Amino acid sequence: MTSQAPARPAKQRHWTEKLSWILIYAGLFTVVLGIATARQDEPLGWSIGVPGGVAVLAGVVLIYIRSRIKP
């Protein structure tokens, strides 16, 4: 018995792909902003950069989920 990825509507696949790239690019921008801010105020820089890293990770997970969705 082989496990197959579930078939999803095209609208959901498109939404997942779009959201993943938005999370990745916005997260990378936020990480860079956090690094730049950390030069002046380290705690503030970390509090800006860490959520950006989490957003990048969520975007990568969504790309993996999108790759498992049957076309």
The reported pLDDT for the residue numbered 13 is 78
**9: exposed, middle or buried (C-beta count within 10 Å: 0-12, 13-18, 19+)?**
exposed
**68: exposed, middle or buried (C-beta count within 10 Å: 0-12, 13-18, 19+)?**
exposed
Cβ-based neighbours of 70, under 8 Å, separated by 6 or more: 4, 5, 6, 7, 8
pLDDT at 4 over 80: no
The structure tokens 């939404």 sit at 15
More confident residue, 8 or 60: 60
Distance from C-alpha of 62 to C-alpha of 60, rounded to nearest angstrom: 5
The reported pLDDT for the residue numbered 29 is 98
What are the tens digits of pLDDT across the range 26-71?
Answer: 999 999 999 999 999 999 999 999 999 999 999 999 999 888 887 7
